[in-house]
Amino acid sequence: MMRLPRFQYYAPRDIAEAAQILNSEGSDAMVVAGGTDLIPNMKRKQQMPKTLIALRKIDSLRQLTNGSGLNMGAGLSLTELVRNDKIKSDYAGLWQAAAQVATPHLRNMGTLGGNICLDTRCSYYDQNYEWRKAINYCMKKEGEVCWVSTGSKRCLATSSTDTAPALISLGAKVRLTSADEERELLLADLYQDDGIDYLMRRANEIVTEVILPDSNNWRSTYWKLRRRGSFDFPVLSVAAAASMAKDGSIEQARIVLGAVSSQPLVCEKVDEFLQGKKLSDEVIEEASLLCGKVARPVKNTDFNPAWRKRAIIRIATYALQELRGDDMSEQRLKIARHIL
Amino acid sequence: MSTRDKLSVIGKSRRRVDGASKVSGQTKFADDIVLPRMLHCKLLRSHLPHANIKNVDTSRAERHPGVKLVLTGNDFPNEYGILPVSQDERPLCKEKVRFVGDPVAAVIALDEFTAEEALQLIDVEYEELATIADPLEGLNTPEARLHEYSEEGNIHKRLSYEFGDVDDAIAKSEHVFEDIFFYEGCTHLPMEQHAAVGHIEADGRITLWSSTQCPHYVHRAISKALEIPTARIRVIATPNGGGFGGKTDPFNHEIVVIKAAMLLGRPVKIALTREEVFYCHRGRHPVLMKYRTGVDKDGKLTGMHLQTMLDGGAYGSYGVASTFYTCVLQPVTYHLPRYAFDACRVFTNKPPCGPKRGHGTVQPRFGQEVQMDKIAEKLKIDPADFRLGVIEQAGAMTANYLKIGSMGLAECINKVVERSDWKNKYGKLPKGKGIGIACSSYLTGAGNSIYWNAMPHSGVQLKLDRSGKVTVFCGATEIGQGSDDVLVGMVAEVLGLDPLMIRCVTGDTDLTPVDLGSYSSRVTLMMGNAAIQAAERARDLIAEAVSKKLGVPLERLVFADMRVFDTEDPELGLDFHKAVVCGEEMHGTLGTTGSYAPPEPPGKYKGSGVGPSPAYSYSAAVVELDIDELTGWVHVERVYIAHDLGKALNPVLSRGQVQGGVYMGLGEALMEEQTFQRLPPRLSNALVHKTPSMLEYKSLTAHDMPEVIIDLIEDPDENGPFGAKEAGQGPLTPIIPAVANAVYDAVGVRIDEVPITAEKILKALDKKARGGEGRVGPDKFPEIEWPEPYEVPPPWEGGDGDAVNKPKRKRAAKMHEMDKFKKAVSS
């Protein structure tokens, strides 16, 4: 089997200690929660931290508290999220996203914080060391060229997190903790469109908490497209959330596309278009076409980009129909291969 | 004496004999073997697709702490390969590397981690060569040549045969159908990655444990590659965690660990990574194929001319056999009065292709069965009825001299038609919903061994003693298909025992008689017949003693319910344990053997050795699916399959095999592809596997599996043990064309190319919407200079099974390798 490189391992008991170690170890250190992303990457020598700071023994990271909204510790496993009734009822989009990450085994290990920090993915990068040597590496690790588009000045690796688009559509904030400060920012602002520097997290910061506002009259949904009903990362996804007035017209909508950019793609144009409108078939069609226009899939994952660009219209339609309240179980069965 | 007429073990669903140890995790696979002082091996694999090796400097790696040995191509004297005509592999490459993943050096160290570290310290100097990415490039690029022994340039092998004047038959036909199809390559994806342990005993004898399907062939290859007499080598096939044909070749890593163990005097293990398994490959060849088929006005087939071109990858492997298999089984499903084929295999700079479940026949069956659908549509006949009207007969001899035994295809078709309510669905489902049918047939064991010999294909030995225990020995290999269970089941039935009373020892060249291996669906039939023979001989010995002891005439003795007794007075008898004691008293130590060799094939022409089988299995499948016309997204709803397996020996296992075939067939139909890519040539010479991982090489998950409705059709074949034919490979094949045909029924587009993806369906729908042909698939078959065909008149045109002409053929350049091998073995 592929073996892990050697590393030093710390297992602190509280956040302050973890932040302290991260601060003192500098750029050679990484934090690890479930390890479902980082450990295979280390075996493939994509990331070679000399020090791993494990977050698994920090109890406060696994807390889930109700306030006006929902405060979720970043160390909660995806399985724990899926088993939470409040998430299922009030934040359906997040629940559907978490339930469709990888496989049951990986959801048992993988955490919320890990999923929102998931390394960007690319078919030229997510390969073992020998394979990457055979293509003389790529811009994201050890090489110079972006093989997705050799003229590209930046890395085009794709944001493949399922929970982040759902969380952003729900208006989530994220708490970052370092040895000297603690700050909160909108989850949407955690990301930028660069396959290498995709996170605005500072090197000494740990994602400690995700905060959801009160769900009030918001509805949400998450549709993930992948070739198979399990395992696969998204080739595109649509997170849609909206607060609805009593007459069914949209007060505010947030549509976020996953896996079509190096960051979760916030579709402000679609949000603006939907504002004040009722989700008629015509409105849904136009909004879905708009989603298709803003999406910029590239050739670095399963399915070709032209098809993904077409498919996003269909998937956005399904998402908006479900948001409207349609029974989408038949379509869900065909797309997700099982009823969620 | 006899076995009771009513079968008590055979035909009953029971727990397989190796079931408990598998589900409780006790089965020891090759990677579970740990020996004292064991060392670990890793291979340095080429990162270049095609290059000459100028120099390998191992000095830095040798100095690395923990490293015990570094081997290179210079440490190995001989080439080897599974087929005598393709002795083109080396344990480690010496002069050149031929694909990304070809092994160049090996490091043996205290642990795997250290060995892997040291790989980075080996300095290889390469001289890069031009690369060949596909067979068309290979046809047009004779240099740089991958192998000197190829027929011409990079063309490995060409075949050409004519069974009657097919051009004449087609010319006189009412309708002529010409279709071109492409079947993408795919790999086996067994759950267990290959692993092997080499060990040298104190007296210098060599033992290899390996996850191999064919210990006997590995045994021979080691002998040749390392110039060690076979009598000093023991190969033990550990239970395989799946094989599907991917572990039927002798592999470089097996020979490397033996060599290392010999040099170091310590056991050496290698356990491949998933990436390395993709590089071992030997999977399904990508095949381009062209069919020209004539049909008369009554809807009967008049003749078929099939041409195939195979992408062989970098080595011979089973390739010459695979090339034949892309053509030889076409006539065993539907009657073809005349038949001709040309086939060509080309070397490319990719992992070698070889046999995968349905070896070489799956690709052309896809083309044939989709063309059948097109013919039926043109003739306005229901595709199921059309097939029933042209079906080959039981007991028939085909145009290419394959002797068919039992033939349950009609029953299979009728069964799936009835089950699926075909008549009310075909052509009548709402738009977007579709239903498709297809059929297939497969061998129950190749009629000939990989190397020519007049010995049995399978041997079974039985040991019985005063403990009452029966031990059965056979060289067959349990790869998950249930061969141990078949072996025990046969003996239990004949001796009237509970299968759990019998111990079986299999796949060990020191302890067990030779069986050629778990490939070509041969084990149940060949091992089964040998086991019956051995068991009947044991039964006769015991019966003789019991008859004397009890004073009951021999012919009245019955073996059943763990007793031997008088049929006329069932109270009079001995329990089995006492009966064996009786036998041992009379005969001394008890032991019997049984063996099996297939019947002499009727064809006499050169090349007639590929295709004959003691029995052919038959299947028919109906697939129902749903397609979203805006995206081409496919959702398979149900699969109905009926498989004629002669006799279900252990029905729950038979159904498992059929279900597994459906699973694998759907994967190939919808998503599996082993594809490669180049980078922009001005920047890179790379030619790499696109998806060498279980995450990105897509095969179905449990969520993607539709409902499968299975019917086992039992049309016993006189050559099969208790009438049994195969179930392991055949049921995969009809699934792929049935999907393609259902897609057409659903949305009216033809995807003449596998896998059938949403992208391709959408593309075809777009083309159709623009007024074009609603089809995605290859448009042309290249011009290939075929050799003069062997002309063999079919049986009904006065043929005697031999060719009437003597076409000139180039003698394979490396035949002297065979001579070297014989010398090595005899020394």
The reply to whether B141 falls in a domain is no
Total residue length of chain B: 827
The reply to whether B145 falls in a domain is no
Q: Are B757 and B718 members of one domain?
A: yes
Given this model, what pLDDT does residue A60 score? 96
Distance from CA of A63 to the nearest CA of B (A): 32
Question: How many domains, chain B?
Answer: 3
Are A230 and B686 in contact (CB < 8 Å)?
no
Q: Are B119 and B220 members of one domain?
A: yes
Where does chain A hold its CATH 3.30.43.10 domain(s)?
A: 8-58
Q: Are B46 and B18 members of one domain?
A: no
Are A334 and B689 in contact (CB < 8 Å)?
no
Percent of chain B with pLDDT over 90: 96
Distance, in Å, from the CA atom of B643 to the CA atom of B441, rounded to the nearest integer, reads 9
Two structure tokens written together for B213: 């399907």
Beta bridge partners of B619: B440, B643
Distance, in Å, from the CA atom of B499 to the CA atom of B422, rounded to the nearest integer, reads 41
Window A:208-227, CB contacts with B under 8 Å:
227
Distance from CA of A128 to the nearest CA of B (A): 8
**Residue among A60, A76, A72 at smallest CA distance from A13:** A60
Q: Summarize the confidence of residues A92-117 as an average pLDDT.
A: 98
What distances in angstroms separate CA B661 from CA B120, B363, B410, B520, B656, one per listed residue? 41, 15, 20, 14, 8
pLDDT digits (tens, 9 = 90+) for B345-366: 999 999 999 999 999 999 999 9
In chain A, residues with a C-beta closer than 8 Å to the C-beta of B128 are none
Q: Are B428 and B525 members of one domain?
A: no
Beta bridge partners of A254: A241
Given this model, what pLDDT does residue A68 score? 86
Question: Does ipTM top 0.95?
Answer: yes
Q: Which of A3, A133, A134 sits opposite B112 (nearest CB)?
A: A3
Distance, in Å, from the CA atom of B560 to the CA atom of B553, rounded to the nearest integer, reads 17
**Pairing assessment for the beta strands B339-347 and B301-313 based on DSSP bridges:** parallel
The mean pLDDT value of chain B amounts to 96
Q: A85 in contact with B at a CB cutoff of 8 Å?
A: no
Cβ–Cβ < 8 Å for A220, A121 = no
Q: Are B531 and B592 members of one domain?
A: yes
Given this model, what pLDDT does residue B1 score? 62
Distance, in Å, from the CA atom of B603 to the CA atom of B801, rounded to the nearest integer, reads 5
**CATH code of residue B124:** 3.90.1170.50
Q: A105 in contact with B at a CB cutoff of 8 Å?
A: no
Given this model, what pLDDT does residue B815 score? 43
What distances in angstroms separate CA A194 from CA A188, A189, A202, B68, B586, one per listed residue? 14, 13, 15, 45, 85
Q: Are B585 and B680 members of one domain?
A: no
Q: Summarize the confidence of residues B633-661 as an average pLDDT.
A: 98
Given this model, what pLDDT does residue B662 score? 98
Distance, in Å, from the CA atom of B477 to the CA atom of B239, rounded to the nearest integer, reads 7
Q: Summarize the confidence of residues B724-742 as an average pLDDT.
A: 98
Given this model, what pLDDT does residue A67 score? 80
Two structure tokens written together for B459: 């041997």
Q: Are B295 and B377 members of one domain?
A: yes
The mean pLDDT value of chain A amounts to 97
The reply to whether B816 falls in a domain is no
Cα angle, residue A273 at apex, residues A271 and A277 outer, rounded to 5°? 100
pLDDT digits (tens, 9 = 90+) for A216-270: 999 999 999 999 999 999 999 999 999 999 999 999 999 999 999 999 999 999 9
Total residue length of chain A: 340
| Residue-number span of the structural domain to which B591 is assigned | 2-27+456-596
Q: Which of B47, B112, B702 sits opposite A134 (nearest CB)?
A: B47
Given this model, what pLDDT does residue B6 score? 86
Residue A3's region, left for phi above 0, alpha for psi from -120 to 50, else beta, is beta
pLDDT beyond 70 at B2: no
Q: Are B757 and B617 members of one domain?
A: yes
Q: Following CA atoms A85, A88, A91, A92 in sequence, which dihedral angle do they give, to the nearest 10 degrees? A: -170
**Pairing assessment for the beta strands B51-57 and B123-128 based on DSSP bridges:** antiparallel
pLDDT digits (tens, 9 = 90+) for B151-160: 999 999 999 9
pLDDT digits (tens, 9 = 90+) for B281-329: 999 999 999 999 999 999 999 999 999 999 999 999 999 999 999 999 9
What distances in angstroms separate CA A181 from CA A16, A23, A26, A206, one per listed residue? 10, 12, 16, 11
pLDDT digits (tens, 9 = 90+) for B582-617: 999 999 999 999 999 999 999 999 999 999 999 999
Given this model, what pLDDT does residue B3 score? 60
**CATH code of residue B318:** 3.30.365.10
pLDDT beyond 70 at B133: yes
The per-residue b/e assignment along B525-553, b for 16 or more CB within 10 angstroms, e otherwise, is bbbbbbbbbbbbbbbebbbbbbbebbebe
> Quick one: pLDDT band at residue B827, thresholds 50, 70, 90?
very low
User: Which SS3 state, helix, strand or coil, does residue B99 take?
Assistant: coil
pLDDT digits (tens, 9 = 90+) for B770-816: 999 999 999 999 999 999 999 999 999 999 999 999 998 765 544 44
The reply to whether B804 falls in a domain is no
The reply to whether B79 falls in a domain is yes
Distance, in Å, from the CA atom of B151 to the CA atom of B153, rounded to the nearest integer, reads 7
Q: Are B67 and B37 members of one domain?
A: yes
Q: Which top CATH class is A59-117+158-336?
A: alpha beta
Where does chain A hold its CATH 3.30.390.50 domain(s)?
A: 59-117+158-336
Q: Are B428 and B460 members of one domain?
A: no
Two structure tokens written together for B527: 């091992």
* Domain end position, chosen among B737, B752, B776: B776
Q: Are B321 and B370 members of one domain?
A: yes
Cβ–Cβ < 8 Å for B305, B781 = no
pLDDT digits (tens, 9 = 90+) for A14-60: 999 999 999 999 889 999 999 999 999 999 999 999 999 999 999 99
Q: Which of A123, A136, A314 sits opposite B631 (nearest CB)?
A: A314
Q: Are B182 and B326 members of one domain?
A: yes
Q: Which top CATH class is A8-58?
A: alpha beta
Two structure tokens written together for A99: 């339930």
SS3 per-residue string spanning B413-458: HHHHHHHCCHHHHCCCCCCCEEEEEEEEEEECCCCCCCCCCCCCCE
Given this model, what pLDDT does residue B267 score? 98
Cβ–Cβ < 8 Å for B408, B415 = no
Two structure tokens written together for A152: 């590209």
Residue type, A143: G
Mutate: best of B683, B707, B761, B765, partner A, most A CBs <10 A: B683
Q: Which of B100, B635, B702 sits opposite A334 (nearest CB)?
A: B635
